[in-house]
A and B are shown apart, each in its own frame.
Chain A
Amino acid sequence: AQSVTQPDIHITVSEGASLELRCNYSYGATPYLFWYVQSPGQGLQLLLKYFSGDTLVQGIKGFEAEFKRSQSSFNLRKPSVHWSDAAEYFCALAGSYQLTFGKGTKLSVIP
């Protein structure tokens, strides 16, 4: 069985501070991993994806994520957070025919 764990339900950071959102996965094969962002009342927007190759992947809006097989992690980072980054972030794992999502991490940004 596959699973995704996002340990932090809610994180608050100050604008301009760095950000790291944690994601751990469980999967028996090479994972395909994604980070999505959901703004209030909106759909899910793909931030970045990892399929293979370079373990540090760059995404949109200045986000990056690092795949660490030894730690079964795929943490999302941003060096300097903007107020517009306030949203809910979901890590997802692609299995055979479906995406398995974590419960999400809600990010609040203090101006």
Chain B
Amino acid sequence: DSGVTQTPKHLITATGQRVTLRCSPRSGDLSVYWYQQSLDQGLQFLIQYYNGEERAKGNILERFSAQQFPDLHSELNLSSLELGDSALYFCASSVDLKHSTEAFFGQGTRLTVV
């Protein structure tokens, strides 16, 4: 158990819909990262938050957004969903701003868009 909790584990939704994925980081970790894992793209960095502030953006679509709340949990919002958004979405957390310390990953949320 990494200490990072993601909910839900599985999500099936229709095209055009909006979903919210939730992540609770390890106790004491201030940084939260979101990654998308798909068969064709592999593991892609989406976005990072540190202590409530957005710090880095990767290949995140404009239809996607995230935030980190005062209690440090984070949510990833995916809207106007397309079939191609079907993927495994991981959240990771680490103590500091940079990945110079290790990052711990949650079990992921498997999103299926039908």
Contacts and interface: CB of A to CB of B under 8 A. Distances in A.
Q: Do A and B bind each other?
A: yes
Interface of A: 32, 34, 36, 42-46, 49, 51, 90, 94-104
Given A32-B100, A36-B105, A43-B107, A98 B45 contact: yes
Nearest to A104: B42
Contacts of A100: 45
Interface string B32-46: 010100000011010
A92 to B, nearest CB: 8
A45 B55 CA distance: 24
A73 B69 CA distance: 39
Closest 10 CB pairs between A and B? Answer: A97-B56, A94-B99, A101-B43, A98-B45, A44-B105, A43-B107, A43-B105, A103-B42, A97-B48, A99-B99
Nearest to B91: A43
A34 B100 CA distance: 10
Nearest to B99: A94
Nearest to A93: B99
Interface in B94-114: 97-100, 102-108
Interface residues of B, number: 24
A98 B102 contact: no
Interface of B: 2, 4, 33, 35, 42-43, 45, 48, 55-56, 58, 90, 92, 97-100, 102-108
B90 A97 contact: no
B90 A44 contact: yes
Contacts of B104: 46
Contacts of B100: 32, 51, 94
A4 B7 CA distance: 30
A51 B4 CA distance: 23
25 contacts: A32-B99, A43-B2, A43-B90, A43-B105, A44-B90, A44-B105, A45-B2, A46-B102, A46-B103, A49-B102, A90-B43, A94-B98, A96-B98, A97-B48, A97-B55, A97-B56, A97-B97, A97-B98, A97-B99, A98-B99, A99-B35, A99-B45, A99-B92, A99-B103, A104-B42
